[in-house]
Structure 1
Amino acid sequence: MIIKQFKLIYFRIPIIIKLLITIVFLMCFFGTVIHFIEPTQFPTIFEGIWWAFVTAATVGFGDYVPLTTSGKLIGILLILTGGGLIGFYVSSIASGTIKREQDIEHGRLAFKGTGHLILVGWNERTRQLIKIVLEKNPNEKIVLIDRTLRHISFSEYPIHFINGDATEDAILTKANIRQAERVLLTADLIKNERQADTYTILATVAIRGNNENIPIIAEILSKSQIENALRAGATTIIRSNDFMSALFYHELTHSLAVTPFEDILHILSKQQFSHFPVAPEFVDKQFAEVSHHLIKGDHLLIGIIREKKYNIHPPPDLLLEHGDILVTLVRL
């Protein structure tokens, strides 16, 4: 029974550890044998073991050498067995290191950290977001899940990549979804809008099923799918199509701006959006009055969220109500 349990434990040990155990056992065996065969040349078992390691590793210091025929035969057996094992052990470590690097690049390794951001979908928006996040906080831990990307260079993008489908529990487990801080789902613009939104909603359902409290930011392309995304468990909905349509309308109906819009976005990237509930003293106060009060604390009030709907740049005389969420820009 004991032997059977030992075998089960041994076969579960990684191959590198097995090799190391085998090498140590063989070196101790040959070191003990050479001590008893030539006690004068090898006065202690430790000297015998030292000779065994030096000989098997082909270092050959020459401080201990067998003199008798029996001792030399032991040396030959040691070189044929121990030398090969040590060479295989070193090559296994090297190949294991290379394989690990390849697994990281190809998204096959699970993420073991906590308090991280999970981004779903690899595209230009995600690439720029990673750049901005790491510029603001180089220590931020980011996990990227994508099913189309085959590999990513860690030296170019210092993130943890997982290749797979975010609708599958196994992939979310590899991303350590239970201990993540928040999730951002970006729409797949290669697919049509309905297919992209369907995938986003399915991924939201899977994420919410694995972590019922995590904030989920979902990009939805079709207005008709917003309610479905909210029912699936999305915390925040980003309607990128609406924003781009408004931007196109602005450019079509206004004269050409001196400053390119990209520069305006760059300026906004140096600000931080902040959401917080309206304070009791601001309830029943006008939007303009509250805005004047908040700007003294470096908060630029740009709108409110009421009943899960954004109201950006509302009328100055709009009265704030209990339960409103104030949306501000804060200088970094």
Structure 2
Amino acid sequence: MLQQIYYKYVEAPLVVRILGMAVFFITLFGAAVHFIEPQTFPTIFEGIWWAVVTASTVGFGDYAPKTVAGRVLGIGLIFIGAGFLSAYFINLAAAAVTSQNTLREGKAVYAHKNHLVIVGWNERSKEIIDRLQEMPVPRHIVLIDDSLRENPYPEKVVHFIQGAPYKDETLKKANVKDAATALITSDQNKNEVYADMNAILTLVAMKGCQPSLYCVVEILTTDQVINAKRAGADEVIETNRHASSIMLNSLYFDGISHTITHLLDPLNGGHLKVMSVKEEWKQLSFRELASLLLQDRILLIGIKQGEKASINPPLDTTFNSNDELLVIKH
């Protein structure tokens, strides 16, 4: 029994061990002074109170030993007890500073669940994090990046993990196995092919940790889109293709890029979503369903059939069981 207690004590953190020694000596000296001078310290509690005040160098003076033996005991308590208490507070402060540095430098393990993991620090991820913080219910975010040396959000709205996102050690620190969603952004400091390979490698590592994790991956080259899907990407963002489409529209329609950005901004109250076709809607035409959904402030703009989307189809279009609706919902 005593051996088990000893091993647990030895394995405990240094701050806990020092505090334990301080409490032990304060209790020992407090009990001893009670037995040496029972008239001055009528109970053990008074003795412990005196020991605490003496060891902490506060010295209220409400209790003080009268005999030589009691004063010698007090001298010993000052040398021993005060030393342990000083060491305790010094180590406590050092532990707090170390913990703060560990968080800032991205070395601390994230312990919560259902969080969003964002891989890569760049203007896109910064914009996403800033926008998420403006949402009515902010998301718990873990940022993984191997180029940063400290958390870019020191106010702790983001938990930073420093390291390569495809390594198990890094993913364990980010608690990926308990995450809800992952966004893997492309490293545009690398050439496009290498950046896509790095993103797919990270995707494979994350899916290995948690196969059910919903992963959104940014891919720059069209050739790698199929490989990202094979690796298990739930959604692929083709940045170059999307940007090219907006640029192409801007060549024909002035100001369309601003309009599209405004339309897709969730903070403006509009959310572009995909909805399943309910059983009672299958007999309706596109015109009839659009009028019905408008009553709930849902704007029907198109139909998604597999990988193919049809925007503003003929008004007499009907729906199949596997069709999905493209809507803008408040």
TM-score, normalization by structure 1? 0.89
Is 1:187 the counterpart of 2:183? The answer is no
**Cα distance, 1:106 vs. partner?**
1.5
Q: Give the letter aligned to residue 264 of structure 2.
A: L
Query: Is 1:268 aligned to residue 267 of structure 2?
Result: no
Matches within 5 A, 1:17-166: 17-152=16-151, 154-156=153-155, 158-166=157-165
The DSSP-based 3-state class of the residue aligned with 1:217 is: strand
SS of match in other structure, 1:297? coil
Matches within 5 A, 1:159-308: 159-254=158-253, 256-257=254-255, 261-262=257-258, 264-269=260-265, 270=268, 271-283=270-282, 287=286, 290-307=289-306
More divergent stretch after superposition (88-97 vs 48-57): 88-97
| Aligned CA-pair RMSD | 2.3
More deviation, 44-53/318-327: 318-327
Task: Decide which of 295, 310, 313 is 2:311's aligned counterpart.
Answer: 313
> How has the CA–CA distance of structure 1 residues 305 and 263 changed in structure 2, closer, same or farther, with 3 Å as cutoff?
closer
* Residues 183-242 of structure 1: CA deviation (Å, up to 9, x unaligned): 111111111111111111111111111112121111111111111111111101111111
Preserved CA contact (<8 Å) 1:177 1:210: yes
SS of equivalent to 1:160:
strand
1:123 and 1:41 mapped to 2: Cα distance? 70
Q: Is the Cα contact below 8 Å between 2:277 and 2:321 reproduced in 1? A: yes
The letter for the 1-side match of 2:296 is G
Structure 2 CA distance for aligned equivalents of residues 186 and 12 of structure 1 = 42
Query: What code does the residue aligned with 1:76 have?
Result: I
Structure 1, unpaired ranges of 5+: none
Q: Tell me whether 291-300 or 18-27 shows the greater mean CA deviation.
A: 291-300
Q: Which runs of 5+ in 2 are unaligned?
A: none
Offset at 1:304? Answer: 3.7
C-alpha distance in 2 between matches for 1:313 and 1:213: 31
Identity %: 36
Instruction: Return the alpha-carbon distance in structure 1 between the equivalents of residues 63 and 156 of structure 2.
Output: 52
TM-score scaled to structure 2, two decimals? 0.90
Output the CA distance in 2 between the equivalents of 1:12 and 1:137: 44
Contact 1:42 1:48 in 2 (8 A): yes
